[in-house]
Structure 1
Amino acid sequence: MKESVMEEPALPPAHGEEEHLSLALANSAIAIPGGHMVDLLGTPAQVNHWLTERGLAPVDAGMREMCATQLRSLREQIRSLFAARAAGLPALPAAVTAINDTMTRVPTAPLLQWDEKNGPYRATPHPTTEIVDHALATLAADAADLLTSPAAERLTACGSTPCNRYLLRHGRRHWCSTRCGDRARAARAYARRTQLGAD
């Protein structure tokens, strides 16, 4: 698939993305007609923008390529788990391990701190150098929450080729956007006309 230089396709968030950041992450690499792929996390600057828009990093976090690579890798693990869940298949053990490792990389409990001025207190460490680890842990935890929630029953892949986005089904809707729904209906109508013409 060819990598596209487009900034961002004009697609609204798929149903469920606003409640689940992991769904938004899974949908940050978008297949579009013509064999192209738009990667919203293609550069460190795009990664910084994506994380900032979701409250996971400050504007001036200064992402590096290594950070972008880590986020893209987590995206692929989450996509693998979503694909397995949507298809009713077992998950790849490596994807489960990657999510668990990412969630446990940062402390979640407020740790005991002690200094001369304040004495003993509890605080969750969050140094600037760990911004990416915290963002990744938040996204991994969200994926685990989604996969183990009742909403997981509604997790599905968009039913319009070549779209590769995931969504939480809403009613009978199996498309991530109106554009994908229109494309799927047009393809079905074309197939019916072609079949009638062949008879």
Structure 2
Amino acid sequence: MRNMPDPIAAQLDAVAPLPPAPGSDVWLALDFANTAIALPGGQYVDLLGSPPAVNDWLSARGLAPENADVQEMCATQLRALREHVRSLFAARVTGAPALPAALDAVNDALTRVPTAALLRWDDKTGPYRATPCPTNEILEHALATIAASAADLLTSEEAETLTACESTPCNRYLIRHGRRHWCSTRCGDRTRAARAYARRTRSRSD
């Protein structure tokens, strides 16, 4: 990982003990949505908070080369898509109608790159198929890939098990397995401790 400004390094250190939420290793969109993290004590960590951080996140997932030199405009577009994806996840989890703007944003991202590999011709080896992704199209490719993952997840059978972490103030999403509604052991321990404290408080007041 390249040297990062101290604020970015501090943010990564803050979430280092926090494991990926269940399902985020399978669904890129879930991993993407969870890059905005609310922590206890009013802390907030944005893993896409700066162009270098965005470049690191994209390159770690094969969506950009390490030297892509992501600019703030690109980072802003990715963060905007993240809010729309989170909005669609929230609508799916709560059974609420999807915001038209969120649907439009995802569909717009889906149409930014060709859906089929184009026909290319090498003077020496002849014709071949390839999906173009030159440097100036890296962002479009990343946006389309993330949007496709979100669309696939929301229309898959696993969408029934998509849920929000029930540990306040955590705002991460996860794919639920069994009765577990927490994104990590840490969140589960915090919830159980809060419930135990609430029970003790009630018993003392009775």
TM-score bin (small chain): over 0.9
After TM superposition, where is structure 1 displaced by more than 6 Å over at least 4 residues in a row?
none
Matched, 1:22 2:34: no
Q: Higher helix share goes to which structure? A: 2
- 1:195 is aligned, of 177, 183, 202, to 202
Letter in 2 for 1:32: L
Matched, 1:63 2:39: no
Matched, 1:181 2:188: yes
What is the TM-score with the length of structure 1 in the denominator?
0.94
What is the CA–CA distance in structure 1 between the aligned matches of 2:122 and 2:93, rounded to whole Å?
Answer: 50
Residue 36 of structure 1 and its aligned partner are, at CA, apart by 1.4
SS at 1:12 equivalent: coil
Matched, 1:146 2:142: no
What is the CA–CA distance in structure 1 between the aligned matches of 2:150 and 2:175, rounded to whole Å?
Answer: 13
Residue 55 of structure 1 and its aligned partner are, at CA, apart by 1.1
Please provide the CA RMSD for this pair: 1.6
Letter in 1 for 2:39: I
Distance 1:15 1:129, change over 3 A: same
Alignment: residue pair count: 197
What is the CA–CA distance in structure 2 between the aligned matches of 1:7 and 1:54, rounded to whole Å?
Answer: 17
Residue 75 of structure 1 and its aligned partner are, at CA, apart by 0.6
Which residue in the other structure is 1:167 paired with?
A: 174
Counterparts of 1:34-183 in structure 2, within 5 Å, are: 34-114=41-121, 120-183=127-190
Residue 128 of structure 1 and its aligned partner are, at CA, apart by 1.4
**Structure 2: runs of 5+ lacking an equivalent:** 1-6
- 1:6 is aligned, of 11, 31, 39, to 11
Contact 2:11 2:47 survives alignment (8 Å): no
Contact 2:52 2:70 survives alignment (8 Å): yes
Residue 126 of structure 1 and its aligned partner are, at CA, apart by 1.4
% identical equivalent positions: 69
